[in-house]
Chains A and B, each alone.
Chain A
Amino acid sequence: MTNSKVREPLFHITKRDNITTKKSILIRVIAVFFSLLLLCVVCAIVGGEGIDVVLGALFDGAFGSERKIWITLQDTALLLGVSLALIPAFKMKFWNLGGNGQILISCLMAVVCMKFFGGKIPDWSVWILMAVLCIAAGAVWALIPAIFKAIFNTNESLFTLMLNYVAQFLVGYFVVTWSTSGSNVLTPFDQGTLPVLGNQYLLTILVIVISTVVMTIYLGKSKQGYELSVVGESQNTAKYVGINVRKVIIRTMAISGAMCGIVGLLLAGAIEHTMSESIAKNMGFTAIMATWLGHCNPIMVILTSFLITFLNRGMVSVRMELNLTSDAIGNVCIALAYFIIIASEFFITYKVKSPIFDKIAALIPKRKKAVKEVSEQEVVNEQSTQETSAKADDLVVESATDQTNATDAQSDDKQEGGEQ
């Protein structure tokens, strides 16, 4: 039936037209499982302990005590806050890499308020002043590249990235200037700090929860949220229906920066009560991954932020448990875990088939294989109801005439049938 003379490619990679929510969740859960497994195995080998010990330490670090749980929740909230700032920008295809800078400049404002007004004017007025200044500072830090992008079409990635360093050195300068101990560390302020609700973590969590709700509604239901998605998807369409693209870019970035400002406000005003060059803990970058893995969807980003925070906090205790002196192993392990999770996105977008898989499948008892085939068939059926077919693939291959058909989309349902 098939032409036996021809080498079949080892892997057939086809773009999926559709994937059921169930299947995509399954793929992600499997990825998280494997990433944890790999992380534990590597740590176990390096540390010379059992996998169970590593796994225990990992969960202990994140959830070992009531305090640890609260900190994990607070850190998740902070990372989620920064991601919430990135979501509107990324949906607009404006690559805001300046989260760190926007947080830092906001922290600086919080410290200014605590230093100069704390104890001198009523606490509630300091809080309001601090909130306004922090949010404004974050917004301004994002507006600078936005305005340049809107008017001169400068590259926003470089611009926002560079502003991180400006903010970082400004903070560094004022830390040294205002430091009284001579150690170049700013001692935490005790006046003018944000109020404590219940316990010291609750305010941050509450603010971020409210922000998440507001941002979800803003993106999903408001006219402005709709406009920014149109601009992100196609500037031509936006112009065609008369959307003022410049205005949308500037407005959205102001919101993005303001959200980073809120995170800075919480970080310096409610949590640390001081600032340092590294106060943002690189969340501006970590949040990029949380946002991306969460497909710019606030609800999904809650999960990815939590996962990333869990890994980070868990690894701290794994390192202590295994007496790993260097940071490197911990970072490598986390990177490996991320890598697998990110790679899972590939399997959500593409379907991979290979003769090797078929051979493996043949070894597995029949019942399971039948189940697998049914699910494959379902996917196929769903696809055939769409009229799109493989037009996209078609075009790509067409435009690359002089290339081989390495990534050729050969669906081999028939061949599979023949082999049984």
Chain B
Amino acid sequence: MNNTVALELKNITKSFSGKVANDNVSMTLNEGEILAILGENGSGKTTLMNMISGIYYPDSGQIFIRGQEASITSPHDAFRYKIGMIHQHFKLVDVFSAVENIILGVKDGKKYNVKEAAKRIEKIVAQYGFDIDINKKIYDMSVSEKQTVEIIKVLYRGADILILDEPTAVLTPQEIDKLFTVLKNMRKDGKSIIIITHKLNEVMEISDRVTILRKGQYIGTVETANTSEEQLTEMMVGEKIQLNIDRPIVENKQLRLKIENLSLIHDKIKMLDEISFDVFSGEILGIAGIAGSGQKELLETIAGLNKPTTDSKIDYYAPDSDKSDSLIGKSPNEIRELGVRLSFVPEDRLGMGLVANMNIIDNMMLRSYRKGKSMFVDRKTPHDLANSIIESLKVVTPNEYTAVRKLSGGNIQKILVGREIASAPTVLMAAYPVRGLDINSSYTIYSLLNEQKQNGVAVIFVGEDLDVLLELCDRIVVVAGGKVTGVVDGRTADKRSLGALMTKTEKYQQEEIKEEKQND
């Protein structure tokens, strides 16, 4: 490894409406190395990278590229300095092929020539070992393929410094392996790579050095070879943290929900395809799958928000009772009138679980405002509930009259989960409850879920981090393309086998959808 500096940041500060996102951050990136930027959500990783790629302009501080001071005022400028960034959310034109997307917007003064461009792109693909068909349309591509197109796009424009923002968040273990192989090839070729992440095992696997940010401050840079996950966590969080998630064993499990043959058709597309599994009290049932495999639809259907096909069955068994009630075709209200205490923490917290512009008290009322015959709402009880949740879950808020949109992600989630647990549920469904939360908030949520489990609640947990799923859940249902591809024991299963199940029917499913489209 050579130690020529490719990129150097000196005393970069950036603030938004008075809130400092980056405070006097200095760091360096050497040529031909992979540097991981590690930090919790909200630690300023993305903001810092956006300043390198020309999306933001720093309030103060300097950027040096290959020793020269640079002023990067636009993404276009960034490309002049051979810097390319691959964002978390892809920016591709769906109806274009990979080639068309890659050459879109390239101003090299040459005539527009798709064939010649395709040849050059093929060369890049072969050189770094990408696995992709460059003539495929974007709408036919999986998330991993789309990401590949984004990376090739940046390489095609001649970037030497690549910045990847949380590239592994949406990938399966197998796809992550492929990505890392490509990244290593690029390093061999002398490219300098910055990878933003908050997953420690990936940092240890891929990076040469790690730079840690915490709350907008630069904490330090360490050589990956000389560090450990424990040390990195401590630097990242600022305190020692027990990284293990509890998995208490609950005796006397009872069948709570029996789901059989559950299918959901939306806009002629089968979102759920004959799903069957059982949910027991006193256990956490994990649901794993690539984003968009039907997890959201599954939970919403159980909650009574979608109408499944008529031969579907969802039977609810009340505690200590052999009698079952069918939940099929019932609205959330009707389900509640049956006496089923079903709580649901949806994926879209502010758009579904809460009302962003309302204060904490009014959000508490969402579940309970109907109680009583009076035509006026009772704000006293929700007010007390709001105060008790703020206190018991340590919600950081100026007061209970603050609009929830003004709170941080972790606090928003505490409000939502707190409210859902307050109704003493018998079934608790949570979709991605720790997404975007810092480590401490995440562990608060895990222990809340465990507490519910020990109280005999049937907990359904949809997660994306396989490590967490494997540590927290008693059983894991794997879904792919709206089908259940396997139910595994959380204590014995491993990440690879889950990954394999997650992608099991993907190809088959895509072909099916394509066929359906043609039939239409």
Q: Do A and B bind each other?
A: yes
Question: CB of B446 within 8 A of chain A?
Answer: no
Q: List 30 A-B residue pairs with CB atoms under 8 Å apart, sorted by A's residue number.
A: A6-B73, A17-B17, A222-B376, A223-B369, A223-B375, A226-B362, A226-B369, A230-B358, A233-B356, A234-B352, A234-B356, A236-B351, A240-B303, A240-B344, A242-B333, A383-B17, A387-B406, A388-B19, A388-B407, A394-B16, A394-B47, A397-B50, A398-B87, A401-B53, A401-B85, A405-B55, A405-B56, A410-B59, A413-B18, A414-B13
Please name the 6 residue pairs, one residue from A and one from B, whose CB atoms are nearest each other, closest first: A390-B16, A242-B332, A389-B19, A387-B408, A242-B333, A380-B18
Question: CB of B240 within 8 A of chain A?
Answer: no
Question: CB of A375 within 8 A of chain B?
Answer: no
- Are B60 and A414 in contact, with the CB atoms below 8 A? yes
- Are B352 and A390 in contact, with the CB atoms below 8 A? no
Q: Which residues of B contact A351 (CB under 8 A)?
A: 17
Q: Which residues of B contact A14 (CB under 8 A)?
A: 16-17
B411 to A: closest C-beta gap in Å:
7
Bound state CA distance, A256 and B46, in angstroms?
A: 47
Question: CB of B353 within 8 A of chain A?
Answer: yes
- Are A2 and B21 in contact, with the CB atoms below 8 A? no
- Are B352 and A236 in contact, with the CB atoms below 8 A? yes
Bound state CA distance, A234 and B362, in angstroms?
A: 14
Bound state CA distance, A410 and B396, in angstroms?
A: 26
Q: Which residues of B contact A399 (CB under 8 A)?
A: 89
Question: CB of B62 within 8 A of chain A?
Answer: yes
- Are B91 and A401 in contact, with the CB atoms below 8 A? yes
- Are B17 and A398 in contact, with the CB atoms below 8 A? no
Q: Contacts A236-B352, A412-B59; is A226 near B367 (CB within 8 Å)? A: no
Q: Which residues of B contact A414 (CB under 8 A)?
A: 13, 59-60
Q: Contacts A233-B355, A237-B354, A397-B55; is A15 near B17 (CB within 8 Å)? A: yes
Most buried by A among B19, B42, B336, B352: B19
Question: CB of B236 within 8 A of chain A?
Answer: no
Q: Which residues of A contact B346 (CB under 8 A)?
A: 240
Q: Which residues of B contact A336 (CB under 8 A)?
A: none
Question: CB of B388 within 8 A of chain A?
Answer: no
Among candidates B59, B73, B332, B357, residue contacting A233 with C-beta atoms closer than 8 Å: B357
Q: Which residues of B contact A393 (CB under 8 A)?
A: 16-17
Interface residues on A, range: 35 or more
- Are B57 and A405 in contact, with the CB atoms below 8 A? yes
Question: CB of A241 within 8 A of chain B?
Answer: yes
- Are A398 and B355 in contact, with the CB atoms below 8 A? no
Q: Contacts A384-B19, A414-B60; is A230 near B366 (CB within 8 Å)? A: yes
Q: Which residues of B contact A389 (CB under 8 A)?
A: 16-17, 19, 21, 42
Q: Which residues of A contact B54 (CB under 8 A)?
A: 405
Bound state CA distance, A390 and B369, in angstroms?
A: 32
Question: CB of A385 within 8 A of chain B?
Answer: yes
A354 to B: closest C-beta gap in Å:
15
- Which residues of B, 91-146, contact A by the 8 Å Cβ criterion? 91, 105
Question: CB of B348 within 8 A of chain A?
Answer: yes
Interface residues on B, range: 35 or more
Among candidates A16, A223, A236, A411, residue contacting B370 with C-beta atoms closer than 8 Å: A223
Question: CB of A32 within 8 A of chain B?
Answer: no
- Which residues of A, 1-21, contact B by the 8 Å Cβ criterion? 1-3, 5-7, 14-17
- Are B331 and A242 in contact, with the CB atoms below 8 A? yes
Question: CB of B26 within 8 A of chain A?
Answer: no
- Which residues of A, 190-217, contact B by the 8 Å Cβ criterion? none
Bound state CA distance, A233 and B357, in angstroms?
A: 7
- Which residues of A, 302-355, contact B by the 8 Å Cβ criterion? 351
Interface string of B1-24 (1 = CB under 8 A from A): 000000000000111111101000
A11 to B: closest C-beta gap in Å:
14
- Are B377 and A222 in contact, with the CB atoms below 8 A? yes
B386 to A: closest C-beta gap in Å:
15
Q: Contacts A6-B57, A410-B57, A411-B59; is A388 near B406 (CB within 8 Å)? A: yes
Q: Which residues of B contact A413 (CB under 8 A)?
A: 15, 18
A245 to B: closest C-beta gap in Å:
11
Q: Which residues of A contact B348 (CB under 8 A)?
A: 236
Question: CB of B365 within 8 A of chain A?
Answer: yes
B362 to A: closest C-beta gap in Å:
7
Bound state CA distance, A380 and B19, in angstroms?
A: 8
Among candidates B17, B73, B87, B344, residue contacting A401 with C-beta atoms closer than 8 Å: B87
- Are A415 and B19 in contact, with the CB atoms below 8 A? no
- Are B377 and A226 in contact, with the CB atoms below 8 A? yes
A21 to B: closest C-beta gap in Å:
13
Among candidates A223, A224, A241, residue contacting B367 with C-beta atoms closer than 8 Å: A241
**B87 and chain A: residue at smallest CB distance:** A401
- Which residues of B, 325-354, contact A by the 8 Å Cβ criterion? 331-333, 336, 344, 346, 348, 351-354
- Which residues of A, 366-416, contact B by the 8 Å Cβ criterion? 379-381, 383-390, 393-394, 397-399, 401-402, 404-405, 408-415
- Are B71 and A3 in contact, with the CB atoms below 8 A? yes
